[in-house]
Every structure is written in structure tokens, then in C-alpha cells.
Amino acid sequence: MPIKPHQSVLVSIFAENVRRTRQELGLSQEELAERAGVHRTYVGMLERSEKNVTIYNIERIALALGVEPAILLTRTGSR
């Protein structure tokens, strides 16, 4: 049975990591979107786990944030 993006643990990890990294860099969602070449509403949807992201866009967002793509897919903290 297919699951929705907000039900996926990996989508949630990605969303948390994008939001945290963006905020640490002092970027707005709009600034990140511009750097990554995606629409600003798409960044918001990703950060809320509403959209499933493609590998292509994981790479674009990682480059825009200055991190390796794997960092955005790795759980951090004690959870």
C-alpha cells in the first residue's frame, strides 16, 4: 500500500535537515529556492513533508545549501 510523503520517515528527516540547515545559514525559503532553481512554494512543501523530493532536486537543494546530499538524508540528534 503506498504511503503519503508525510508518513515517510526519510521524507521527514529530509524536511527537518533542509529547514535546520537553511535557518542556520540565515536563508529564507525564497532565497533557498532561488539558489536551487525551484519555486519558493516547493521549498515550503518539502519542509512540511508534503512533497516527495526527487534525487535531482535533493542534489540541487544540497548544492544550494553547500552540503553533501547524504547529509540531508541522515538522521541527526538522539532520536
- The answer to whether the CB of 21 falls within 8 A of the CB of 47 is no
Total domains in the chain come to 1
CATH code, domain with 55: 1.10.260.40
- 39, pLDDT greater than 90: yes
Mean pLDDT confidence for 50-66: 96
Residue 76: the pLDDT is 84
- Give 6's DSSP letter: G
Please check whether residue 62 is in contact with residue 38, taking contact to mean a CB–CB distance below 8 angstroms: no
As a whole number, mean pLDDT of residues 8-30 equals 97
Please indicate, yes or no, if residue 61 is contained in any of the structural domains.
yes
For residue 49, is pLDDT > 70? yes
Average pLDDT over residues 21-35: 98
**In terms of residue numbers, what domain contains 17?**
5-72
Residue 40 lies in a domain: yes
Give the pLDDT confidence score for residue 1 in this predicted structure. 67
